Chains A and B, each alone.
Chain A
Amino acid sequence: MGKRVGIEVSIAIAEAVKLARAEVIAAYPITPQTHIVEHLSEIIANGELDAEFITVESEHAAMSCCCGSSAAGARTYTATSSQGLALMSEILYHPGPMRLPIVMTVANRALAAPISIWNDHQDIMAQRDIGWIQTFAENGQEAVDLTLHAFRVAEDRKVSLPVIVNIDGFTLSHVIEPIVIPDQEEVDAYLPAFKPRVRLDVKKPVTMGPVGIPEVYTEAKMAHNEAIKASKRVILQGWKEFAEIFGREYNPVETYRSEDAEVLLVTMGSISETAMTAVDAMRDKGTSVGLVRIRLWRPFPGPEFRKAAGKASVLAVIDRCLPPGAVCGPVGAELRSIFYKMPGAPKIFSFVAGLGGRDVTVELFEEIVDKARAYAKKRPTELYEVIGVRER
C-alpha cells in the first residue's frame, strides 16, 4: 500500500531510486539537483542500497560512466541540472542509438547567461533532440512514480532506451509534499531485474558505439527514431500496470475541465497545478476555459494531444523557454506542426513565461487567456509573445 509521508521531493526521488534497486549511480552535484544525489550517496554509504556510487569530476564523466555501466548490464541512474546537463551534452547523444537504458532526473533550471540557478525549461529544451524518452512531472508524487516508470520502460527489451524524468527545479525539487512512498514488494513486482539484450562481456566480445560511415549513418538514425516511436506502446503499458499495482493513473496527456472549453491552456511541468487553480478561477467568472497538460514529451504523443484538445477553438500554449531567433517556443512549434492544415484545427497562440524562476501566477494565466481570446478575433503581429516582461 505504501506509506504517505511529508518529504522533500528530491529525497523522495532518491528513495524511489533506492526502491528501484539501482546498481550504479554516477553523478556530479549541481543546484537544484544536489539533494537527490546527496541523499543517494548517504543511502549507499549507510548500506541501505547495494550500489556503486561513482563520484565523478564532471557531468561529462558522469554520463560517460553511466553509458559504461549500462553497457555492462547494471541498472544505472544519474541526475543533473542546467549547466551540468549542458556539459553532458556530448555524451547524451550516445546512449539512445546505442540502446543503453539509463534513467536520469533533470531538475530543470535556466541556462546562463545571465547566471541563474532558478527554474525554467531552457536546459532540457537545449537537449530536446538527444533521443531519450522524456517525461515531465507535475508534483512530487508524480516525480516518484515517473522515476519507477522510467526504469520499467527504459529496460524493457523492446525499448532499451534512456529516459529522462524532468522535474521543475526548486518548485518541485526543494518542496516538501505529502508523497506515498511505495512498498519494496510493490516496486519489486512492478520492476523486474534488468536483463539487457546485449552486455559487455569479455567471454563474448562486442563492439558498442562503432563508427557509422555514410552508408549506415542514416539507417542507424532511422533505427533509433523508430525505436523511440515504438516505445510509446511500452510507455502506455508501463502506466497501465503502474495503475494496477499502485492505484495511480497516468496518461501521456491529461486534461482539466477541458470539456466544451473554448480556450485551452497548454502546459508542461509543475505550472500545470497553478494552471488548474487559474482555470477554476476563470470558470467561476464564466470564462469557457480548460487545460491540457503534456506529460510525455518524447516521443511526442500527437494523436493523444489532438484528442485531448477536442473541439476547442483556441489553444494558448505556454513555453518556459525562449529560443532566441526561433519562430516560437518549442512546445508551441510542436503543436502548430501537429495541427497544420488539419480541418477544424484550433488557432494556436504561443506564449513564453516563467523564465529563470519568474513565477507563473494565476493572474498571468488569466492574462494569457484574455490575450489568446483577443488574438482569435484579431491576429497578433508576432508568432509568440513573452508574458510578464517589463518594457521599461
Chain B
Amino acid sequence: MAQIDAIVGWKDLPFGCHVYEPGSTAKFRTGDWRSQRPVLDKEKCIRCGMCWVFCPDMCYSQTEEGYFEANMEYCKGCGICAHECPKDAITMVPEED
C-alpha cells in the first residue's frame, strides 16, 4: 500500500474528506508497488524529452545537464517511457525485492 505522511483517525478526517491543500497529492508516495524500474543509458540518450512527455505519472524531471530522471517515489514501472524512447536508451530492469 502507498505511504502517507499523516495517518489520521476518523474523528480527525477533514469535513467531507475535502482536501484543502492544493497539490498535496505529491505527498502520497505511490511508487512502492513497482515490479520493474527504468534505467537510463546516457550514452544513447539524445535528451529529446519523449519519456517526460509520455510518463503517465509525470515522474520525469530534467536535470541540469538536460537528461531526464524518473522519480522512483512515484514511478509505477509501467515501461511506457522505455517503449516510447526513440533511442532505446531506457531499459526496464526487475526490482530485486
Contacts and interface: CB of A to CB of B under 8 A. Distances in A.
Interface residues of B, number: 17
B15 A198 contact: yes
A32 to B, nearest CB: 33
Given A205-B22, A213-B28, A220 B13 contact: yes
Contact of B17 (A160, A210, A215, A218): A210
B4 interface: yes
Contact of B20 (A206, A212, A213, A218): A206
Chain A interface residue bracket vs B: 20 to 34
B2 A223 contact: no
Residue among B1, B16, B19 with most chain A CB within 10 A: B16
A215 B4 contact: yes
Chain B interface SS verdict (over half) = loop
Given A198-B18, A205-B22, A207-B19, A213 B13 contact: no
Contacts of B22: 205, 207
A226 B11 CA distance: 10
B2 A215 contact: yes
B16 A99 contact: yes
Given A197-B15, A213-B28, A219 B20 contact: no
A141 to B, nearest CB: 34
A223 B10 contact: yes
Given A213-B2, A215-B4, A208 B9 contact: no
Contacts of B18: 98, 198, 206-208, 210
Interface string B33-75: 0000000000000000000000000000000000000000000
A223 B22 CA distance: 23
A222 B10 contact: yes
Contact of A213 (B4, B8, B19): B4
B13 A219 contact: yes
B17 A223 contact: yes
Contacts of A214: 1
B32 to A, nearest CB: 12
A207 B9 CA distance: 20
Interface of B: 1-2, 4, 7-11, 13, 15-20, 22, 28
